[in-house]
Structure 1
């Protein structure tokens, strides 16, 4: 959608309750601040530290003093923390119209989460999957309301094409998953691939909910600017002239949140702004992989549901 202008192109959101993960900085914070200008009933956002949320809350209140904005502390790499946060959210809300799974880490050194999973997969996929499953009953109940338009938006990356052989190495996800050259990027790509495939599975299994994935583009947020010199060069050099500012990075999220439902294909992957992507790989076309990821995720999350 050329010339996207959120102030004109995001519709009135009166009555909607929206939850965004990773709203303390970058694209997530910018999305929260823009959304409140369109009069939703309530915007909630998550992050790891309450102190980091203060700037987002202050800016949102300045933009729209009458819109309630709530911070929920959560560490997505810790499933006990995700469960506690989801229970807190459920205790507060009677409806949930939009869930945006935006938070994430990128190209960090090899490591495992508190629960023993590869750290990118744990943070970017598994924590979000638990949050989705805990909130699904509320999302489904909201979808039954007259005039509702319930959405789950997974923020992924074009890096989802950079996966290990087969797309997802299920037998190595409970380890640091040491990989050869570019290992940190391949692990990141695997987690972003999981986000894209999981959105597709959600769309197939819950057709009343509009589920989709998107890339915000390559955005000059801390995820990029805090990289080491070599990794930063890997990001900047192929994207000279196409890098997006943090404000521009919000545009595809805002489009996917607010665009008319009939203009969005459920289960699809969107590039900025609102462009249906035809990007594919051998792994992304594997008809069995989505079901395999779903079943693996269900089994791993069983004790937390």
Structure 2
């Protein structure tokens, strides 16, 4: 079992002095990631998420299990609104000159067709474009950290094997076509985009280490919409869920490993599956042309909206 080879409590090195940002850290694998890292004494954690009440509950829950309370600060982040995503990044950069680890962990799944506040496909706009803008606003501090504090700065993007639902690239970058394809296709496009983004970020900013990952089939709040909308899936998962799904602690393992393993064991821009296994032939992780085209398209969409 991988637990024998990678144990967060045993194998994560000291995080002393480090500043960590986690999007969507109020529940699920984001919360578990914060908990495990806080056992190793980081200087500061920014928990960036939409719901303040849930974030504060998570912070209290995490600190209740630690021998010494960690410095965890809530930052309001709404990835489906570009102005609010930018504002969250600016709030963070105004209060720290250092970010050692950035976990792009937040996301929505299998949402009914819709648009973000800025007119983008809801799932692609939230899971990819919102994170793209948020990350780019943090880049000056990430890069300053490399030169001033720590040469090993990492950006870890939580994608999914849901990328297999993604449509042709030309559909992915057409809001109207993508939204018309249905919620699973939209979700798949957003997860393919996470992999493409991580790979292109690694090329454009090689001083940072950027990887993406599939956390596994994890029973988290992401499945609430799926099960509530489908009688069949609700009952299927009631019987087979215990066999199909891992728990949240397992789900956090790959991103904890990617954030803390010796840097020499990571492939820049690589896509990893549980637990810590490189999927070297993933088509989105190896398609340099598609990576560049998505980056250029995203920049153009943001520029069109004033960012």
Distance 1:257 1:237, change over 3 A: farther
> Out of 113, 118, 124, which is 1:115 matched to?
118
Show the 5 A alignment for 1:29-108. 29-62=31-64, 63-108=66-111
For structure 1, which segment, 144-153 or 82-91, has the greater mean C-alpha deviation from structure 2 after superposition? 144-153
The alignment of Structure 1 onto Structure 2 pairs a total of residues equal to 300
TM-score (normalised: structure 2): 0.91
Gaps of 5+ in 1: none
Task: Give runs of ≥4 in structure 1 deviating > 6 Å.
Answer: 233-240
Q: Is structure 2 residue 295 aligned with structure 1 residue 294?
A: yes
Asked if the contact 1:111/1:176 (under 8 Å) is kept, the reply is no
Q: Distance in 1 between matches of 2:142 and 2:176?
A: 30
- Tell me the distance in 2 between the aligned counterparts of 1:141 and 1:130: 18
Match of 2:28 in 1: 26
Distance 1:223 1:200, change over 3 A: same
What's 1:164 paired with?
167
Q: After superposition, what is the alpha-carbon deviation per residue over 1:148-197, rounded to whole angstroms, capped at 9, x for unaligned?
A: 31011110001112111237532x22676211xxx211110000000000
Report the equivalent of 1:2.
Answer: 2
Equivalent position SS for 1:144: helix
TM-score by length of 1: 0.91
SS of the residue corresponding to residue 18 of structure 1 reads: strand
1:263-300 CA distances to partner (integer Å, 9 max, x unpaired)? 1111000111111113534x665442111101011112
User: Which string of whole-angstrom CA distances, capped at 9 and with x for unpartnered residues, describes residues 99-140 of structure 1?
Assistant: 100000001100001000000011100110001100001101
Contact residue 159 and residue 194 of structure 2 kept, 8 A: yes
Q: 1:234 to 1:173 in 2, by over 3 A?
A: farther
Report the secondary structure of 1:177's partner residue: helix
SS of the residue aligned with 2:21? strand
Q: Distance in 1 between matches of 2:114 and 2:218?
A: 25
Q: 1:235 to 1:156 in 2, by over 3 A?
A: farther
RMSD over aligned CA atoms reads 2.2
- Unaligned segments of structure 2, at least 5 residues: none
1:238 Cα offset (Å): 9.2
Q: How many angstroms apart in 2 are the aligned matches of 1:233 and 1:263?
A: 41
